[in-house]
Amino acid sequence: MQIERRDFIVMAGAAAAALPANALPEGKQKMYGLIGKMAAVAGKRDELISILLEGVAGMPGCLSYVVAKDPADANAIWITEVWDSQESHQASLSLPAVKQAITRGKPLIAGFSDHTVTEPVGGHGLVPARSK
């Protein structure tokens, strides 16, 4: 049996609507997510990506940090982040490695466009946020 894309989306939406508003177990902190699109200076996308990926493993509270090339735009980069909390994300901006990356990357950034804050609830590779 093959399900059409439209039917799948309708069924998934109905299933999501049936879930309680707070799907996290009681006492669990909500995760914090960001999805953003960045434009690199022409010809500098790969260099900027290298800077963005340096030292990402050492950020306390960072559950996922994905940098992706936009195949439709040779200068665009999508960054998807999941944090155990908004506070952890905010604290990461004070880390020496992050400050250094911002300083090195800034001249390679032509601009920002799409930016969305999300509230991740789970997924492959994500562990629910710690108890508060």
The mean predicted confidence, pLDDT, of the chain is 81
Q: Show Cβ contacts of residue 19 under 8 Å, excluding neighbours closer than 6 positions.
A: none
Tokens 């090195």 locate to 104
What is the residue type of 109?
I
Residue with tokens 């996290």: 24
More confident position, 111 or 13: 111
Q: Is 85 in contact with 32 (CB distance < 8 Å)? A: yes
Single pTM value for the model: 0.73
Residue 8: what pLDDT?
46
- CA 8 from chain centre, in angstroms, equals 25
Q: Which amino acid, residue 62?
A: C
